[in-house]
Structure 1
Amino acid sequence: MTQMDEILKRPIAHRGLHNREKGVIENSKTAFAQAIKAGYGIECDLQLSGDGVPMVFHDAELDRLTRQAGKISSLSAGQIGRIKLTASKRGDTPQTFSEFLEQVDGAVPIVVELKKQNDARNRQLASAAVKAAKDYKGLIAFKSFYPGILSGVRAAGFSGPIGIIVTRVTSESKHFKEFSMLERLVMHNLLHYPQSRFDFISADHKALDLPAIRFLRKLGFPVMTWTINSFETAQKARPHADQLVFENYLPYRAPR
């Protein structure tokens, strides 16, 4: 069985098993602990601090998840690590990637999304993330929307699975302005493969019907799909994907 087969054996908790109403915040130590306890895989996000340390945090800005404004990239890892996540019952603060890896310690598979930085820092994030995971013994995969980041992961020496993230970008999409017309064409048709050399596809469940995704899955490329938040959505996605990235509901648990 391949590493990817092992990663796809169980559903993957999107940013951990979080529940804001109960004081368990996304991408927090508590959310990850609950995912581990339940036996789910974990998906997390990485941003790069001002001093070049990968931080487990989704947004480029602090204000949605903390009471502090500003960019992650304007602060050091030490400063970020002292900022409380708003509404966290246990007073969680953002972890470094190394701290997160130490917490999980191989208990469940990990899928790590590398978030886009400015051009000069994309490769820096990829390199720093691979360096942090160099001696990690558990199952781990990296993924990104951006082919250049994936090629940076390979260039840094990572030999495990890497995946491309795909969504259907239309004029109504919140991400529309982030992509040029050419970039949308390339993404929807996965024309960047010679650069990205991805091993799996991480597809928005609303994009599972894209012809390129259907075709490559038939060729043997595994497909995980996000973000599944109900049994009904899971039932629709299941025939077209090999595993679910979920939140706000609990899918079946895979046996350990």
Structure 2
Amino acid sequence: MRPSLHPDFLRLPIAHRAFHDAGSRRPENSLPAIRAAIREGYGIEIDLQPSADGQAMVFHDDDLDRLTYDTGAVAGRSMAELQRIRVRSSPEPIPTLRQVLAEVAGRVPLLIEIKDQSGVMGPTNGVLEAAAASALQGYDGPVALMSFNPSSVAHMARLAPEIPRGLTTFAFPASEFPADMGPELNAHREALAAIADFDAVEASFISHHWRDLDRPRVAELKAQGAAVLCWTIRSTEEEAAARRIAQNITFEGYPAAQS
């Protein structure tokens, strides 16, 4: 089963980590940034990390240091503990996926990225994926799931087969992996760069790095009917270049124009 993206995912520019601006007290992945994106009529991209008790938290980093006034691993704190930690520049704490779903309530498309938990885009225990699937039960707004890690996308294919899923992709340079990478891990890295798992996980779209959109594999997938999104656009000039190939953009740092 390969469900297709809702048409709004190809129509509305997608605000990266929501429509964030720390100077306006709406930091990335925060509820104020979510509300701002809804007001402006943008699609929303968010990130998920797990709490210690297996709940899906809307947060990009795997540690608290950059984005909060606390320190340590996100996965080392319970949901209740994380809900007491305020996001920097925001009056509100780290939200749960359930809170974001209640806030969005189907008004704009929601693109959810499941962050890799393996460190090498390899096999994952499925805890975060199960939490995401549980939170999404009964949600009837336009939503899609993606991950850099094909293992996560494969979990979602089993847990929530009705939700469109895709791969977040780029060139996967060796610098992104351990320095002592052996032949097996290097082969895995090359498979990631080749987007080799697209059919195996029954993906319907990719979100590819915009500077690498001229990769032949991107053209091949697009010709086969895959939707092509891209990340992360930061100017109107970058947007114009990306839209020559991509059907939609994920953007931040400027107000993307709406058609």
Give TM class, smaller chain.
over 0.9
**1:44, 1:177 → 2: CA distance?**
27
Aligned to 1:72: 74
**1:223, 1:193 → 2: CA distance?**
12
Instruction: Describe the superposition over 1:108-147 as per-residue Cα deviations: whole angstroms up to 9, x where unpaired.
Output: 0000000112478541111110111010010000000011
Aligned to 2:186: 181
Aligned to 2:63: 61
SS at 2:11 equivalent: coil
- In the alignment, residue 171 of structure 2 is paired with which amino acid? R
SS at 2:117 equivalent: coil
TM-score by length of 2: 0.91
Quick check: 2:147–2:168 contact (8 Å CA) kept in 1? Answer: yes
Quick check: 1:130–1:158 contact (8 Å CA) kept in 2? Answer: no
Quick check: 1:82–1:93 contact (8 Å CA) kept in 2? Answer: yes
| Counterpart check, 1:158 vs 2:161 | yes
Change in CA separation of 1:182 and 1:27 when aligned onto 2, cut-off 3 Å: same
Quick check: 2:20–2:33 contact (8 Å CA) kept in 1? Answer: yes
- In the alignment, residue 48 of structure 2 is paired with which amino acid? L
**2:62, 2:125 → 1: CA distance?**
13
Alignment of 1:225-244 (within 5 A): 225-244=230-249
- In the alignment, residue 128 of structure 1 is paired with which amino acid? A
**2:135, 2:25 → 1: CA distance?**
29
Q: Which moved more, 1:44-53 or 1:188-197?
A: 188-197
Aligned to 1:48: 50
**1:192, 1:121 → 2: CA distance?**
15
- In the alignment, residue 115 of structure 2 is paired with which amino acid? K
TM-score by length of 1: 0.92
Alignment of 1:243-254 (within 5 A): 243-254=248-259
Query: C-alpha displacement at 1:155, in angstroms?
Result: 1.0
Alignment of 1:4-19 (within 5 A): 4-19=6-21
- Percent identity reads 34
- In the alignment, residue 223 of structure 1 is paired with which amino acid? V
Quick check: 1:44–1:113 contact (8 Å CA) kept in 2? Answer: yes
Q: Which moved more, 1:188-197 or 1:234-243?
A: 188-197
**1:14, 1:101 → 2: CA distance?**
16
- In the alignment, residue 108 of structure 1 is paired with which amino acid? V
**1:115, 1:122 → 2: CA distance?**
13
SS at 1:78 equivalent: helix
Unaligned residue ranges in structure 2 (runs of 5+):
none
Correspondence for 2:146 among 138, 143, 147? 143
Count of residue pairs brought into register by the alignment? 249
Aligned to 1:22: 24
**1:53, 1:23 → 2: CA distance?**
25
**1:196, 1:36 → 2: CA distance?**
31
Quick check: 2:48–2:60 contact (8 Å CA) kept in 1? Answer: yes
Aligned to 1:36: 38
Unaligned residue ranges in structure 1 (runs of 5+):
none
Query: C-alpha displacement at 1:193, in angstroms?
Result: 2.8
SS at 1:239 equivalent: coil
**1:53, 1:112 → 2: CA distance?**
15
**1:209, 1:187 → 2: CA distance?**
17
Quick check: 1:15–1:27 contact (8 Å CA) kept in 2? Answer: yes
Quick check: 1:166–1:207 contact (8 Å CA) kept in 2? Answer: no
Query: C-alpha displacement at 1:176, in angstroms?
Result: 4.0
**1:183, 1:120 → 2: CA distance?**
11
Correspondence for 1:132 among 132, 135, 144? 135
Quick check: 2:5–2:204 contact (8 Å CA) kept in 1? Answer: no
Change in CA separation of 1:167 and 1:120 when aligned onto 2, cut-off 3 Å: closer
